C-alpha cells in the first residue's frame, strides 16, 4: 500500500478542487432545487403534502448536477486520484441521517423543512477538507444554525423562508467556490498531473 505525505495529500486535494471546480455543479444544482422547494412551500397545501413534494423535487438534484457539469465542464470522475471516491462517500453519508428526517416528517411535520436544511447544510462540512477550502465550513455552520433559528421563530405559513434561506446561502457558497477555484487555478502548475502520476 503506497504511503502519502501531507504534501502528496494536499496535491491530490488541489487536483480535485481544480478538476471538479470545488463541486460547483452540485452546489448550483442544489441552489435551483432549493429554489423550487421554496415555491413548493409557498403553495396552499398542508405541511405534510409540502414535505412529500419536497422529497420528489429533491429527486432532480443528481440529473441536474450532471447537466450543469456538462455546461461548466467539471469532472465527475478523476482517474488516478485516490481521494476521488471519498467525495461520493461523503455525499452518500447524508443518507444515514434520513431516518431522523423521516421521524420528524411523521411525528413533527412542521419541523420537517428545518431539519432537512440542517442535515443538508451539515453534510457540507467534510468538503472543507476534501476541496481544501474554508467556504464549506463557514456556510455549513451558517446554514445549520440559520435554519434552526428560522425554524424556531417562523410561523407555519412562513416556513417557505427556510428553503429560500438555503437557496440564497448556496448561491453565496457557489460564488465563494468560483473565487476559490480561480485562485487555485492561477497557482496551478502544468506539472501537477506529472507530479500526481510520479
- The pLDDT score that the predictor gives to residue 90 is 85
Q: Give the per-residue pLDDT at 190.
A: 55
- Give residue 89's pLDDT: 84
- Residue-level pLDDT at 72: 94
Domains of the chain by residue range:
7-185
Q: Report the pLDDT value the prediction gives residue 92, as an integer from 0 to 100.
A: 81
Would you state the pLDDT for residue 60?
96
| Terminal C-alpha separation, the chain | 15
The predicted structure's pLDDT at residue 125: 94
Cβ count within 10 A of residue 163: 29
pLDDT digits (tens, 9 = 90+) for 2-15: 677 888 888 889 99
Q: What is the pLDDT, as a whole number, of residue 193?
A: 53
Mark the ranges of the chain whose per-residue pLDDT is less than 50.
Answer: 197-198
CA distance 38 to 151: 14
Report pLDDT for 122: 94
Grid cell at residue 68? 450543469
Q: What is the pTM of this model?
A: 0.90
Determine the pLDDT at residue 2. Answer: 64
The three state secondary structure string of the chain is CCCCCHHHHHHHHHHHHHHCHHHHHHHHHHHHHHHHHHHHHHCCCCHHHHHHHHHHHHCCHHHHHHHHHHHHCCCCCCCCCCCHHHHHHHHHHHHHHHHHHHHHHHHCHHHHHHHHHHHHHHCCCCHHHHCCCCHHHHHHHHHHHHHHHHHHHCCHHHCCHHHHHHHHHHHHHHHHHHHHHHHHHHHCCCCHHHHHHC
Which pLDDT value is given to residue 195? 53
Amino acid at each position: 500500500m503506497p504511503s502519502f505525505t501531507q504534501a502528496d495529500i494536499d496535491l491530490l486535494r488541489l487536483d480535485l478542487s481544480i478538476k471538479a471546480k470545488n463541486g460547483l455543479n452540485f452546489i448550483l444544482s442544489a441552489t435551483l432545487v432549493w429554489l423550487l422547494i421554496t415555491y413548493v412551500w409557498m403553495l396552499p397545501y398542508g405541511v405534510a403534502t409540502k414535505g412529500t413534494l419536497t422529497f420528489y423535487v429533491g429527486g432532480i438534484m443528481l440529473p441536474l448536477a450532471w447537466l450543469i457539469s456538462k455546461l461548466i465542464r467539471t469532472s465527475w470522475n478523476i482517474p488516478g486520484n485516490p481521494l476521488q471516491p471519498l467525495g461520493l462517500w461523503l455525499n452518500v453519508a447524508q443518507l444515514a441521517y434520513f431516518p431522523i428526517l423521516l421521524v420528524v416528517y411523521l411525528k413533527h411535520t412542521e419541523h420537517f423543512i428545518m431539519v432537512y436544511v440542517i442535515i443538508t447544510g451539515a453534510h457540507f462540512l467534510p468538503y472543507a477538507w476534501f476541496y481544501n477550502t474554508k467556504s464549506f465550513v463557514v456556510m455549513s455552520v451558517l446554514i445549520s444554525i440559520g435554519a434552526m433559528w428560522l425554524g424556531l421563530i417562523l410561523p407555519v405559513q412562513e416556513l417557505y423562508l427556510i428553503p429560500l434561506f438555503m437557496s440564497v446561502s448556496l448561491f453565496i457558497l457557489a460564488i465563494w467556490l468560483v473565487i476559490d477555484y480561480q485562485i487555485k487555478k492561477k497557482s496551478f502548475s502544468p506539472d501537477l498531473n506529472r507530479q500526481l502520476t510520479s
